[in-house]
Chain A
Amino acid sequence: MRKTLALGIAASLMAFSAQAGDIRLDGFPDFNSHLDKIIPVYQEDHADANITYQMNNHGDHHKRLTTNLATGSGAGDIAIVDVGFIGTFINSGGFENLSGADYGADALADQFVGYAWAQGKGADGNQYGIPVDIGPGVMYYRRDALKAVGTDIDSVIKDWDSYIAYGRELKKRNIYLIADAADVAGLIIRTTVKEGEGFYFDKDGNSLITSQRFVTAFNLAKTIRDEGLDAEIGSWTNEWYDAFKSGSVATQLSGAWLLGHLQNWMAPDTAGLWGVSNLPNGIYGSWGGSFLAIPKQAKNKKEAWEFIKFMSADPRAQIAGLKNIGAFPVLTQTYTDSAFDEPIDFLAGQQGRQLFAHVAQRVPAVAPMKGDLIAEDVVLNGVLREVLNEGKPVEQALKEAERLIKRRVK
Chain B
Amino acid sequence: MSDQALSPAPRSAETSHPPLPETHFIRPPKKRGRRLFNSLQPWLFISPFIIIFCLFTLFPLTFSVYLSFQEWNPVTGLSGMNYVGVQNYVEAYDDPWLWKSLYNTFWLAIVSGVPQHLIAVPVAYLLVYAVRSSLRHVLTATMFIPFITSTVAVALIFYSIYSANTGILNQMLLGASKLPLIGALFAWVPDVMPIKWLTKSDLIKPAIAAVVIWKYTGFNIVIYSAGFVTVPQDVYDAAKVDGCNRLQQFWHVALPMIRPFIFFAMTLTIIGNLQLFEEPFILTSGDTGGVGQAGLTTSYYLYLVGWEWLEMGAAAAISWILFLIIAIATSIHFYFNGRKGMEGNR
Q: Are B307 and A63 in contact (CB-based, < 8 A)?
A: yes
Residues of A within 8 A of B291 (CB): 385-386, 389-390
Q: Are B309 and A377 in contact (CB-based, < 8 A)?
A: yes
Given A88-B310, A374-B309, A234 and B199 contact (CB-CB distance below 8 Å)? yes
**Segment of A44-52, A64-72, A103-111, A156-164 engaged in the interface with chain B:** A64-72
> Which of B94, B164, B165, B292 makes the CB contact (< 8 A) with A390?
B292
Residues of B within 8 A of A374 (CB): 308-309
Is A139 positioned at the interface, with any CB of B under 8 Å from its CB? no
Q: Are B308 and A377 in contact (CB-based, < 8 A)?
A: yes
Residue of A385, A386, A404 with most chain B CB atoms under a 10 A cut-off = A385
Q: Mark B310-325, 1 if CB is under 8 A from A, else 0.
A: 1100100000000000
Q: Are B96 and A385 in contact (CB-based, < 8 A)?
A: no
Residues of A within 8 A of B80 (CB): 92-93
Q: Are B292 and A94 in contact (CB-based, < 8 A)?
A: no
Q: Kindly state the separation between the CA atoms of A69 and B311 in the bound complex, as whole angstroms.
A: 14
> Which of A72, A238, A403 makes the CB contact (< 8 A) with B160?
A238
Report B40 CB to chain A, min CB distance, Å.
18
In B295-346, the 8 Å CB interface with A consists of 304, 307-311, 314
**Segment of B19-27, B69-77, B126-134, B231-239 engaged in the interface with chain A:** B69-77
In A108-139, the 8 Å CB interface with B consists of none
Residues of B within 8 A of A65 (CB): 75
> Which of B97, B201, B308 makes the CB contact (< 8 A) with A386?
B201
Is B95 positioned at the interface, with any CB of A under 8 Å from its CB? yes
Dominant secondary structure at the A interface: helix
Q: Are A232 and B75 in contact (CB-based, < 8 A)?
A: no
Q: Kindly state the separation between the CA atoms of A390 and B96 in the bound complex, as whole angstroms.
A: 18
Q: Mark B179-205, 1 if CB is under 8 A from A, else 0.
A: 000000000000000001001110000
Residues of A within 8 A of B76 (CB): 69, 92-94
Is A2 positioned at the interface, with any CB of B under 8 Å from its CB? no
Q: Are B75 and A69 in contact (CB-based, < 8 A)?
A: yes
Is A242 positioned at the interface, with any CB of B under 8 Å from its CB? yes
Tally inter-chain residue pairs, CB-CB below 8 A.
Answer: 91
Is A29 positioned at the interface, with any CB of B under 8 Å from its CB? no
Q: Mark A384-403, 1 if CB is under 8 A from B, else 0.
A: 01100110000000001001
Q: Are A70 and B97 in contact (CB-based, < 8 A)?
A: no
Is B163 positioned at the interface, with any CB of A under 8 Å from its CB? yes
Residues of B within 8 A of A94 (CB): 75-77
Is A381 positioned at the interface, with any CB of B under 8 Å from its CB? yes
Residues of B within 8 A of A239 (CB): 163-166
Q: Mark A230-255, 1 if CB is under 8 A from B, else 0.
A: 00111001110010000000000000
Q: Are A407 and B309 in contact (CB-based, < 8 A)?
A: no
Q: Are B288 and A378 in contact (CB-based, < 8 A)?
A: yes
Q: Mark A75-96, 1 if CB is under 8 A from B, else 0.
A: 0000000000000110011100
Interface residues on B, range: 20 to 34
Is A408 positioned at the interface, with any CB of B under 8 Å from its CB? yes
Residues of B within 8 A of A89 (CB): 75
Report B289 CB to chain A, min CB distance, Å.
9
Q: Are A377 and B304 in contact (CB-based, < 8 A)?
A: yes
Q: Kindly state the separation between the CA atoms of A107 and B65 in the bound complex, as whole angstroms.
A: 47
Given A92-B80, A381-B288, A385-B291, A238 and B163 contact (CB-CB distance below 8 Å)? yes
Q: Kindly state the separation between the CA atoms of A303 and B60 in the bound complex, as whole angstroms.
A: 36
Select from chain A the residue with minimum beta-carbon distance to B160.
A238
Q: Are B78 and A72 in contact (CB-based, < 8 A)?
A: yes
Q: Kindly state the separation between the CA atoms of A96 and B200 in the bound complex, as whole angstroms.
A: 45
> Which of B75, B94, B95, B164 makes the CB contact (< 8 A) with A66?
B75
Q: Are A232 and B196 in contact (CB-based, < 8 A)?
A: yes
Report B39 CB to chain A, min CB distance, Å.
22
Report B75 CB to chain A, min CB distance, Å.
4
In A211-246, the 8 Å CB interface with B consists of 232-234, 237-239, 242
Residues of B within 8 A of A407 (CB): 91, 94-95
Is B293 positioned at the interface, with any CB of A under 8 Å from its CB? yes
Q: Mark B246-290, 1 if CB is under 8 A from A, else 0.
A: 000000000000000000000000000000000000000101100
Residues of A within 8 A of B288 (CB): 377-378, 381-382
In A354-410, the 8 Å CB interface with B consists of 373-374, 377-378, 381-382, 385-386, 389-390, 400, 403-404, 407-408
Report A199 CB to chain B, min CB distance, Å.
16
Select from chain A the residue with minimum beta-carbon distance to B310.
A88
Select from chain A the residue with minimum beta-carbon distance to B159.
A237
Select from chain B the residue with minimum beta-carbon distance to A385.
B291
Q: Are A382 and B293 in contact (CB-based, < 8 A)?
A: yes
Q: Kindly state the separation between the CA atoms of A93 and B77 in the bound complex, as whole angstroms.
A: 8
Residues of A within 8 A of B78 (CB): 70-72
Q: Are A373 and B166 in contact (CB-based, < 8 A)?
A: no
Residues of B within 8 A of A237 (CB): 163
Residues of A within 8 A of B309 (CB): 373-374, 377, 408
Residues of B within 8 A of A69 (CB): 74-77
Select from chain A the residue with minimum beta-carbon distance to B284.
A381
Q: Kindly state the separation between the CA atoms of A382 and B301 in the bound complex, as whole angstroms.
A: 13
Give 8 A-B contacts (CB < 8 Å), ordered by A residue: A72-B78, A92-B80, A94-B76, A238-B163, A373-B308, A390-B200, A404-B96, A404-B97
Shortest 7 CB-CB contacts between residues of A and residues of B: A70-B74, A92-B75, A381-B288, A69-B75, A385-B291, A374-B309, A92-B76
Q: A71-B78, A404-B96 are in contact. List 6 more A-B contacts (CB 8 A).
A: A65-B75, A92-B75, A232-B164, A374-B308, A377-B304, A403-B96
